[in-house]
Amino acid sequence: MIMKTGDRMPRFEALDQDGNVLKSDELIGKKTVLYAYPADMTPGCTSEACSLADSHERFIALGYRVVGVSKNS
Protein backbone atom coordinates (compact mmCIF):
# COMPACT_ATOMS: atom_id res chain seq x y z
CA MET A 1 0.00 0.00 0.00
CA ILE A 2 1.46 3.35 -1.00
CA MET A 3 0.29 6.29 1.07
CA LYS A 4 0.55 10.00 0.37
CA THR A 5 0.62 12.97 2.68
CA GLY A 6 -2.90 13.58 3.95
CA ASP A 7 -4.15 10.01 3.41
CA ARG A 8 -6.13 8.46 6.23
CA MET A 9 -4.16 6.12 8.42
CA PRO A 10 -4.88 2.44 7.79
CA ARG A 11 -6.12 0.34 10.70
CA PHE A 12 -3.38 -1.66 12.36
CA GLU A 13 -2.30 -3.37 15.57
CA ALA A 14 1.39 -3.72 16.35
CA LEU A 15 3.85 -4.07 19.18
CA ASP A 16 5.78 -0.96 20.13
CA GLN A 17 9.45 -0.87 21.09
CA ASP A 18 8.51 -1.88 24.65
CA GLY A 19 6.31 -4.82 23.63
CA ASN A 20 3.02 -2.98 24.27
CA VAL A 21 0.18 -3.28 21.76
CA LEU A 22 -0.48 -0.09 19.81
CA LYS A 23 -3.79 0.08 17.96
CA SER A 24 -4.45 2.59 15.22
CA ASP A 25 -7.84 3.27 16.81
CA GLU A 26 -5.96 4.85 19.75
CA LEU A 27 -4.56 7.48 17.38
CA ILE A 28 -7.81 8.50 15.69
CA GLY A 29 -8.51 12.19 16.16
CA LYS A 30 -4.97 12.86 17.35
CA LYS A 31 -2.19 14.58 15.46
CA THR A 32 -0.02 11.72 14.25
CA VAL A 33 2.95 11.41 11.92
CA LEU A 34 2.87 7.83 10.67
CA TYR A 35 6.26 6.86 9.32
CA ALA A 36 6.51 3.56 7.48
CA TYR A 37 9.79 2.15 6.23
CA PRO A 38 10.43 -1.07 4.32
CA ALA A 39 13.93 -2.03 5.45
CA ASP A 40 16.28 -1.49 8.38
CA MET A 41 19.74 -0.06 7.87
CA THR A 42 19.33 1.07 4.25
CA PRO A 43 20.56 4.50 3.12
CA GLY A 44 17.13 5.84 2.17
CA CYS A 45 15.33 4.65 5.28
CA THR A 46 18.18 5.74 7.53
CA SER A 47 18.15 9.21 5.99
CA GLU A 48 14.40 9.52 6.50
CA ALA A 49 14.63 8.30 10.08
CA CYS A 50 17.43 10.77 10.86
CA SER A 51 15.35 13.61 9.40
CA LEU A 52 12.39 12.66 11.58
CA ALA A 53 14.62 12.32 14.64
CA ASP A 54 16.06 15.78 13.98
CA SER A 55 12.53 17.22 13.86
CA HIS A 56 11.06 15.09 16.67
CA GLU A 57 11.02 17.85 19.32
CA ARG A 58 9.33 20.20 16.87
CA PHE A 59 6.61 17.64 16.13
CA ILE A 60 6.08 17.11 19.87
CA ALA A 61 5.89 20.88 20.47
CA LEU A 62 3.18 21.09 17.79
CA GLY A 63 1.20 18.31 19.50
CA TYR A 64 2.07 15.45 17.14
CA ARG A 65 2.96 11.90 18.05
CA VAL A 66 5.48 10.23 15.75
CA VAL A 67 4.88 6.52 15.08
CA GLY A 68 7.32 4.46 13.01
CA VAL A 69 6.07 1.24 11.45
CA SER A 70 8.24 -1.50 9.96
CA LYS A 71 7.95 -5.18 9.21
CA ASN A 72 11.50 -5.54 10.58
CA SER A 73 12.40 -6.09 14.21
d(CA 44, CA 7): 22
Partners of 14 in the β-ladder: 22
45 is catalytic: yes
Which residue in the list 6, 16, 45, 55 is annotated as catalytic? 45
**HSE value, Cβ hemisphere, 13 Å, CA-based, for 15:** 6
Positions marked active-site: 45
